[in-house]
Amino acid sequence: MKILKLTLISLFTISLVSCKKETKTTDSSKDSLTAKKDSVVIPEVYKEYYGIYMGDFAGKEMITPEIGEEYEGDVYKKISLKINRITKDSVYGQSIVNGNQRPFRGVFNEETKSFVLDEPGNDKTDGRFEVKLTNDSLTGKWNAFNKSAVKAPLKTLKLIKKEFVYNPNFMLSEDSDLIDWENPKDFIEKYTDEETGKTETYTASKNRIASDAVFKINASKQKLTEKDLKNLRKLDMEIIKNSVFARHGYAFKKQTYRNFFEQTDWYIPVSNNVDKDLSPMEKENVALLNRFIKYAEDKYDSFGR
């Protein structure tokens, strides 16, 4: 009787172990099937349309002139639309405006050669692009999701396909506007009337201006020394430093720097972080420039727009 009891217990134990093994095998098979299902690659289509499309992003806003009353006019900005991936059902990419990089997802209609692309909607600047493809250009419109949150809830786009290439030789052209229009500073000036000899004071608004050193010094090609920088203006060094980032396609948030590099035909913003792309020499030069920028002075002058 005792032997029979032990035998039954042994059989029960073996049965439990067998069930656990079977359960484990079943779960493993299930995981394997799930992994296999998740790893299915959705085929890409229309790869010839992949790339960066750049150009004007225009909308009507209220403009306040230096003299006169406020009026409504067209305000032009630069925008980049990057198409990264197209499948049968979806389009994936990103937009860059004012240094603000936003992902989008949408659909492509092959019959009409048109895209409908939606930004996520969790930022006040998000909206929907409806653009038509003609050869290497995209034209259409953008509508803000939150129309009360932006100055121009409807904008038009005229974009041309461009290829981003890093080239250490890229420089500002020598006919570039070297005035920083975004950071004016007020100065107290004196005026003496020649007839009466009376001296009066007045306030003059002036802007920073760079020198032609920005056309000669290239921090992507030459190892900079303290001697190279000691007589430069602060704006000179800011432009020389940020030229390094511009060559790598950095999307500047500061309007000052966008104004300088958008004057070129080579500046194509593709990312809001390019630190990993800098060469060792570029990193050393940027560090040296940062040290000098901290204590450098600017030259200001009066200009009219």
pLDDT digit string, tens, across residues 87-107: 999 999 999 999 999 999 999
CB atoms within 10 A of CB 111: 5
What's the rounded mean pLDDT across residues 35-48? 76
Decide which of 131, 162, 193 is a domain's last residue.
Answer: 162
User: 205: closest CA among 62, 67, 70?
Assistant: 67
Q: Per-residue pLDDT tens for 208-229?
A: 999 999 999 999 999 999 999 9
Q: Is 35 helix (H, G, I), strand (E, B) or coil?
A: helix
Query: Cα–Cα distance between 14 and 17 in angstroms, integer?
Result: 5
Is there a single domain that holds both residue 297 and residue 184? yes
Quick check: 4 pLDDT over 70? Answer: no
Range of the domain at 237: 179-301
> What's the predicted TM-score (pTM) here?
0.81
pLDDT, one tens digit per residue, over 196-206 is: 888 889 898 99
Alpha helices in the chain (DSSP H): 2-38, 226-229, 234-247, 255-261, 280-293
Do residues 106 and 91 touch, judged by C-beta distance below 8 A?
yes
Q: Is pLDDT of 25 > 70? A: no
The residues that bridge with 271 in the sheet, in sequence order, are 250
Angle value at C-alpha 152, between 147 and 154, nearest 5 degrees: 75
Higher pLDDT, 33 or 296: 296
Sheet of 179-192: strand order equals: 179-192, 199-209, 300-301
How open is the CA angle 287-289-291, to the nearest 5 degrees? 75
- Give the three-class secondary structure for 236: helix
- Percent of the chain beyond pLDDT 90? 76
Together in a domain, 189 and 156: no
Statement to judge: residues 135 and 186 lie in one domain: no
Helices 234-247 and 280-293: angle between axes, nearest 10 degrees = 160
User: Which residue carries 């190892």 as its tokens?
Assistant: 223
Q: State residue 38's pLDDT score.
A: 53
- The Cα 257–Cα 251 span in angstroms is 10
pLDDT bucket at 79, cuts 50 / 70 / 90 = very high
Same domain for 211 and 135: no
Q: In the chain, how many domains are there?
A: 2
Amino acid at 2: K
Give the pLDDT mean for 231-252. 98
Residue 10 has pLDDT above 60, yes or no: no
Residue 135 phi, psi dihedral angles, 5° rounding = 55, -115
More confident residue, 234 or 194: 234
Give first-to-last CA distance, the chain, whole Å.
Answer: 109
Q: Is the pLDDT of residue 9 over 80?
A: no
Please check the confidence at residue 115 and state whether its pLDDT lies above 70: yes
Indicate which CATH number applies to the domain containing 96. Answer: 2.40.128.120
Q: Quick one: pLDDT at residue 258?
A: 96
Residue 167: its pLDDT value, please? 98
Which among 99, 129, 162 is the end of a domain?
162
